[in-house]
Amino acid sequence: MSTRTDRVSDLIKGEISRLLLREVRDPRVGFVTITGATVSPDLKNVRVFVSILGEPQARQDSLNALNSAAGYFKRMLFRNLRLRFAPTVLFRLDESLDRGDRIERVLREIHDGKRTAGDPGEEE
């Protein structure tokens, strides 16, 4: 990524966070955290990665609500950031936190398993 796309990604991430906090009143949108944004090299498309708290169905409902409001976000980004193009917004679940959680759990299980199997005083 170039510095321009990085800068625009950061601007978009901040603006969408602000809009979610202050403007969006959709009850379907639950506890959403914007974890990242990537802009295409031509600055016409943006993928916004979100982390959503709740049950899987509630998370999917929130994601659907965000994607149904993509036109609103497109207009607001164009207006508030004064971009040359109004980027098409696509929201995606950021599953890196879930993957990290799973890895941590597995490592903890491995660590606990080794500790119980190799207690001092046991003969091998």
pLDDT of residue 114: 65
User: Structure tokens of 92?
Assistant: 């995606």
Convert the pLDDT of each residue in 6-62 to its tens digit: 999 999 999 999 999 998 888 888 889 999 999 999 999 999 999 998 888 989 999
pLDDT of residue 124: 41
User: Structure tokens of 89?
Assistant: 């917004």
Convert the pLDDT of each residue in 69-108 to its tens digit: 999 999 999 999 988 888 999 999 988 777 777 888 888 8
Please tell me the pTM assigned to this model: 0.76
**One-letter identity of residue 51:** S
Mind listing the domains of the chain with CATH numbers? 3-94 (3.30.300.20)
pLDDT of residue 69: 93
Convert the pLDDT of each residue in 107-117 to its tens digit: 888 888 865 44
Interior angle at CA 60, CA 19 and CA 79, nearest 5: 20
